[in-house]
Chains A and B, each alone.
Chain A
Amino acid sequence: MYRYDPYDQKIVDERVAQFRDQTRRYLAGELTDDEFRPLRLQNGLYIQRHAPMLRVAVPYGLLSSTQVRKLAHIARTHDKGYAHITTRQNVQFNWPELKVVPEILAELAQVQMHAIQTSGACIRNITSDPFAGVAGDEYIDPRPWCEVLRQWSTFHPEFAFLPRKFKIAVNGADQDRAVIQCHDIGLELKRNAAGEIGFRVLVGGGMGRTPIIGEEINDFVPWQHIITYNEAILRVYNRYGRRDNLYKARIKILVKALGVAEFKRQVEEEWAFGKDGANTLTEAEVARVAAHFTTPAYEALPGEDAGYASQRAANTAFAAWTRRNVLAHKVPGYAIVVLSLKNPATAPGDITAEQLDLVAEWADAYSFGEVRATHEQNLVLADVKQADLFALWEKARATGLATPTFGLLTDIICCPGGDFCALANAKSIPIANAIQARFDDLDYLYDIGDIELNISGCMNSCGHHHVGHIGILGVDKNGEEWYQVSLGGAQGNHTSIGKVIGRSFAAAEMPDVISKIIDVYRAQRQDGERFIDTVRRTGLDPFKLGVYGEAAIIERKQHA
């Protein structure tokens, strides 16, 4: 993974000093709340229900074991002993005290970490494929490109006060695992007919209050020009994006207002000036950065480890785990392991300091010292030998990190919701846990198969409910917490926005509602059909019928 050189280190160290002084001036009354707010946000610091919440950047989800140990240390010393993995591959602490935040940042800087631009109206942490470099369907490793863009966007002087937040995601494989269609800029690495590397560029995707799928504005920007092309997009957005209404300030609104053709015209007119300028990437720079992402020292191994096969045969629990949480690796004899953070006893995405320390230990022992965070709020050890899987599983199981449900109904994406977030309409964690408690039978979960259930506590969509096959959204009805259900959303190559099925539900009804939806699916599905395929084929009607009953449907039709 990328390791800082003295230049990178200096920037992060200077940031710590800068923020230390800003915090000092704020606490001394020299900076007003309004003046300090954007400064702290650009350092990932929100003021929430209980305390400030600190979001630490995990560039494109990559962590070294040393960094994981540092996170464990921070969780233990400055928080209540745990951390939270976010839907943008970052790490959040829910309980740090404002006055110790500069200290935390200084500690993070020791391990080449920071909280730069993890919030605020600026270019945010760039996200990517958690299986980058190890997935069989990868065309081009996105990590060096993410790092190049990370450096370009860090403290970009022109784009520090955009109309609104700005999120970029990069994918380089057949399957999109970075939700590129729901980002302000989605970049898909590809090769042209001549074999040269470039990017397909999507703009104007996003979730939130107005979910929109990004549209293509260029089908191939050669790699040399990706910075200047991004700068052209950002300059048009910075100049013309709406600033009068927070809810209409994202780039997606500008793209819709202008139409994608006109937006593209403006971008390319702008680009004509910046193209071939100093920010044009050089082969030397790309090679320098790419050298940090070399293939680890894989051993030459057989494609199927004999011991692994017999361990699976002998132990059904292990076999169950490997069936879901162990994925094919492009190198023979190796596997990708998903360490699930969806233990029904804890909040989705939460991990304790002790678990973090253990994960770091396993990373060192089994996976070249690296860990990845996923936007589905799990952790990944990307390079584990098949022969080591059983030992790893036993250890993970002992500490609750081997929930064998990756990609199943209970592998829920869930925002912090009303338990932590001041913007929430409703709690989300208890809903996730109640659904996990209802669906605790593994055979049944396996029978249901691949499905994504996402929960957000309000329209801001931090829990990606719009793109959940089943989406749950917390809504406020006269001060009470209610939940709206949508179906048919999806991430990936066939991204779609879910549709609401009808009136919302009380918290206590939610497990039943999900059961009814699953019953409809099981009754309706045809051979090999996944949940989302069935919803797409049948439409919502059978599901509405299953959930609300005949009477409710008839009544609604009469009112219509």
Chain B
Amino acid sequence: MPKLIKNGRVIDDAAEILVLDEVQGPEALNLPDGPVFVPLAVWQAHKGALSGRAGLGVWLDSSESVDDLEGDLDSIGAIALNFPKFTDGRAYSSAALLRSRYAYTGEIRAIGDVLRDQFFFMQRCGFDAIQPKAGKYSDAQLEEALASLKDFSTPYQAAIDQPEPLFRRAQRAA
């Protein structure tokens, strides 16, 4: 079963990520039975039918805006943010916005070109689930990669995981 990192541990995960193509456009609603992340377009086309469905998540590409989910967030159990390339950093802002401005408390999952050297930043921006591409890391490598979550023990600036900056958290001597 595919693995992912959830709250700092490697776990099995069965969720499918539905990708649209020429055959499957957003109009049709052919969903697998188990947990699934549907693209934003599918969510928008079928909100009524999908709301509250068990195991339903929505995924956004890096060019899509989390602002479009405002008002829907209570009925979405999990949101996945895609990194088309790991150097495309838009999803960091998306995650941070979901957690801060929109006070979203469901799962936020990093998907796509997700590499261990960015785990630390992802976690800081509010991703609680991190899913490298299938086959990117062996099970053993993924366990090893957990270490990257702890690359830095005391960051300077406020972020989602640590909402106070160092200068408010610690008494620093001059």
Residues of A within 8 A of B (CB): 5, 7, 10-11, 14-15, 18, 22, 30-31, 35, 38-39, 121, 151-162, 227, 235, 238-239, 243, 273, 277-279, 281-282, 284-285, 287-288, 291-292
Smallest CB gap from B164: residue in A:
A278
B92 partner, pick from A15, A121, A151, A238, beta carbons under 8 A: A238
Please name the 4 residue pairs, one residue from A and one from B, whose CB atoms are nearest each other, closest first: A161-B89, A157-B124, A285-B167, A291-B174
Q: Can you list 24 contacts pairing A with B, beta carbon distance less than 8 Å?
A: A7-B154, A11-B155, A35-B117, A121-B87, A152-B156, A152-B165, A155-B120, A155-B121, A155-B155, A156-B157, A157-B121, A157-B125, A157-B157, A158-B92, A160-B89, A160-B118, A161-B87, A243-B88, A278-B168, A279-B165, A285-B167, A288-B167, A288-B173, A292-B174
A291 to B173, CA, bound (A): 10
A412 to B125, CA, bound (A): 44
Q: Is the CB of B154 within 8 A of A10?
A: yes
Q: Most chain-B CB neighbours within 10 Å: which of A22, A35, A157, A292?
A: A157
- By a CB distance below 8 angstroms, the chain A residues around B89 are 121, 158-162, 238
- By a CB distance below 8 angstroms, the chain B residues around A285 are 167
Q: Does B100 contact A (CB under 8 A)?
A: yes
Smallest CB gap from B123: residue in A:
A157
Q: Is the CB of A151 within 8 A of B157?
A: yes
Additional A-B contact list (4), CB under 8 Å, known A238-B92, A279-B165: A121-B89, A157-B124, A161-B118, A281-B167
Q: Is the CB of B93 within 8 A of A235?
A: yes
| Main SS at interface, chain A | helix
Q: How far is the CB of A142 from chain B (nearest CB, A)?
A: 19
- By a CB distance below 8 angstroms, the chain A residues around B168 are 278, 282
Q: Is the CB of B86 within 8 A of A7?
A: no
Q: Known: A7-B170, A154-B156, A157-B159. Contact between A39 and B100, CB under 8 A?
A: no
Q: Does B90 contact A (CB under 8 A)?
A: yes
Smallest CB gap from B62: residue in A:
A243
Q: Is the CB of B101 within 8 A of A155?
A: no
- By a CB distance below 8 angstroms, the chain A residues around B122 are 157
- By a CB distance below 8 angstroms, the chain A residues around B90 are 238-239, 243
Q: Is the CB of A7 within 8 A of B151?
A: no
Q: Does B40 contact A (CB under 8 A)?
A: no
A238 to B89, CA, bound (A): 7
Q: Known: A35-B115, A157-B121, A238-B93. Contact between A11 and B172, CB under 8 A?
A: no
- By a CB distance below 8 angstroms, the chain B residues around A243 are 88, 90
B142-161 interface with A by 8 A CB criterion: 151-159
Q: Does B166 contact A (CB under 8 A)?
A: yes
- By a CB distance below 8 angstroms, the chain A residues around B165 are 152, 278-279
Smallest CB gap from A244: residue in B:
B63
A162 to B93, CA, bound (A): 10
- By a CB distance below 8 angstroms, the chain A residues around B157 are 151-154, 156-157, 227, 279
B125 partner, pick from A121, A158, A284, beta carbons under 8 A: A158
Q: Is the CB of A155 within 8 A of B87?
A: no
